[in-house]
Chains A and B, each alone.
Chain A
Amino acid sequence: MATGKILAGFLAPHPPHLVYGENPPQNEPRSRGGWEPLRWAYERARQSIERLKPDVLLVHSPHWVTQVGHHFLGVPHLSGKSVDPIFPNLFRYNFDLTVDVELAEACCEEARAAGLVGKMMRNPKFRVDYGTITTLHMIRPQWDIPVVGLSANNSPYYLNMEDGLGEMATLGAATRRAIERSGRRAVLLASNTLCHWHFHEEPAIPEDMSREHPQSYDGYLWDMRIIELLRQGRTREVFELLPDFIREAFAEVKSGAFTWMFSAMGYPEMPGELHGYGTVIGTGNAVMEWDLTRVA
Chain B
Amino acid sequence: MSLVAAFLVPGSPLPLLRPEVPVWAGLVAAHAQAAAALAEARPDVLILYSTQWLAVLDELWQTRPRVQGVHVDENWYEFGDLPFDLRVDTELAQACIEATPALGVRSKGVDYDGFPIDTGTIVASSFLDPAHRYPVVIAANNLYHDWQRTEALGALAAAQAARLGRRYAVIGIGGLSGTLFRHEIEPASDHIASTADDALNQQLLARLAAGDAPALRAFVADYAASARADMGMKHLAFVLGALGEAYRGATTLGYGPAYGSGAAVVRFTL
Interface residues of A (CB under 8 A from B): 64-69, 81-83, 85-89, 92, 117, 119, 121-123, 125-127, 129, 151, 155, 158, 198-202, 281
Contact = CB atoms under 8 A, between A and B. Distances in A.
Contacts of B58: 200-202
A82 B180 CA distance: 28
B110 A68 contact: no
A117 B75 CA distance: 13
B114 A81 contact: yes
A150 B130 CA distance: 34
Contacts of A125: 70, 72, 81
A238 B269 CA distance: 56
Interface stretch (B48-56, B150-158, B163-171, B246-254): B48-56
B184 A68 contact: yes
A123 B74 contact: no
B115 A83 contact: yes
Given A83-B114, A88-B115, A127-B72, A122 B78 contact: yes
Nearest to B71: A127
Contacts of A66: 74-75
B57 A200 contact: yes
A104 to B, nearest CB: 15
B219 interface: no
Contact of B56 (A65, A86, A88, A123): A86
Q: 8 nearest interchain CB pairs? A: A123-B77, A81-B114, A88-B112, A83-B114, A126-B72, A125-B72, A83-B115, A123-B72
Given A122-B77, A127-B71, A200-B144, 18 more contacts: A66-B75, A67-B75, A67-B182, A68-B184, A69-B183, A69-B184, A85-B54, A85-B55, A86-B55, A88-B112, A92-B112, A92-B113, A92-B114, A119-B184, A123-B81, A127-B72, A151-B74, A201-B58
Interface of B: 53-58, 70-72, 74-75, 77-78, 81, 106, 110, 112-116, 118, 144, 180-184, 259
B180 A86 contact: no
Nearest to B80: A123
Contact of A129 (B56, B74, B180): B74
A108 to B, nearest CB: 13
Given A68-B259, A123-B81, A88 B72 contact: no
Nearest to B111: A88
B77 A88 contact: no
30 contacts: A65-B74, A67-B259, A68-B184, A81-B114, A83-B112, A85-B53, A85-B115, A85-B118, A86-B55, A86-B57, A87-B57, A88-B110, A92-B112, A92-B113, A92-B114, A117-B182, A117-B183, A119-B78, A119-B184, A122-B78, A123-B81, A126-B72, A127-B71, A127-B72, A127-B116, A151-B74, A158-B182, A199-B57, A201-B57, A202-B57
A122 B116 CA distance: 20
B48 to A, nearest CB: 16
Contact of A117 (B71, B72, B144, B184): B184
Residue of A65, A123, A155, A198 contacting most chain B CB atoms (<10 Å): A123
Contacts of B180: 67-68
B32 to A, nearest CB: 27
A85 B140 CA distance: 10
B78 A83 contact: no
A58 to B, nearest CB: 19
A212 to B, nearest CB: 14
Given A85-B116, A86-B55, A198-B56, A68 B72 contact: no
Nearest to A151: B74
Nearest to B261: A67
A68 B116 contact: no
Nearest to A124: B72
A53 B229 CA distance: 47
Contacts of B183: 68-69, 117
Contacts of A69: 182-184
